[in-house]
Amino acid sequence: MNEHYFSSSPSGQDRRRVVDVELAGQDVQVETSGSIFSPDGVDRGTRVLLDVVADPPATGEFLDIGSGWGPMALTMGLLSPGAEITAVEVNERAAMLTQANAVRLGIDNITVQHPDDVFAGATFDVIWSNPPIRIGKTALHGILTRWLPTLKPGGQAWLVVAKKLGADSLLPWIQSMLDAKAPGEFSVRRAATEKGFRVLLVERVS
């Protein structure tokens, strides 16, 4: 799994299976497969974020960066059926599973796209992500530079990062990057620490 989950076309066998998970306070069944991130269920980092993140508003435009099989996007859809949710994912198999799981759970407000296919001017009220730290610092910084500035005024981005994988150095880098793009418009802080993970909160204040 670790070798392939961030590849666009994973080479491992597509062995589908159904697993029981809890999303948005509901016990549900979702489909997963090999060569995607966390095929056994909700990973620890994502669970930490889902446990501490503020409930999203009833409506708005939401973004899940790196959806995997869909735990964050599906949670958004269950909590906010009136929102428009974009889930971006480079792994074709994971992207198909996010869409399939939305159908399985009766969620009709999720659009799954490759990052390159998202409208360049798109902006978002809410962003959630367990970013793929293991792709390397340069690629990770590129992802965050692409998406965090798309927050609308008053919007929030919630990120979960393992402390041992550089969460504490990532926070000031995000603040510096956003200050360079829009001075005084963003604040970044640590919102929670649980089970070896930091939850970072980015807010666009103007």
The verdict on residue 2 lying in a domain is no
The verdict on residue 31 lying in a domain is yes
The verdict on residue 3 lying in a domain is no
Q: How far apart are CA 136 and CA 160, in angstroms?
A: 16
pLDDT digits (tens, 9 = 90+) for 109-149: 999 999 999 999 999 999 999 998 888 899 999 999 999 99
The verdict on residue 171 lying in a domain is yes
CATH number at residue 122: 3.40.50.150
Number of domains in the chain: 1
pLDDT at 13: 64
Indicate the pTM of the whole model. 0.93
* Residues 6+ positions from 172 with CB-CB distance below 8 Å: 188
pLDDT at 10: 54
Helices (H) and strands (E) in the chain, counts: 5, 9
The verdict on residue 8 lying in a domain is no
The verdict on residue 196 lying in a domain is yes
State whether residue 13 is helix, strand or coil.
Answer: coil
State whether residue 15 is helix, strand or coil.
Answer: coil
Backbone angles phi, psi at 130, to 5 degrees: -110, 85
Q: What is the arithmetic mean of pLDDT over 157-171?
A: 95
Q: Which of 63, 56, 45 is nearest to 146 (CA)?
A: 63
The verdict on residue 118 lying in a domain is yes
Q: How far apart are CA 81 and CA 71, in angstroms?
A: 15
Instruction: Give the whole-number percent of the chain exceeding pLDDT 70.
Output: 93
What is the band of 45 on the pLDDT scale with cuts at 50, 70, 90?
very high
Instruction: Give the whole-number percent of the chain exceeding pLDDT 90.
Output: 83
The verdict on residue 109 lying in a domain is yes
Q: Which of 155, 150, 149 is nearest to 125 (CA)?
A: 155
Q: How far apart are CA 29 and CA 101, in angstroms?
A: 9
Amino acid at 203: E
pLDDT digits (tens, 9 = 90+) for 75-101: 999 999 999 999 999 989 999 999 999
Range(s) of the domain holding residue 29: 17-204
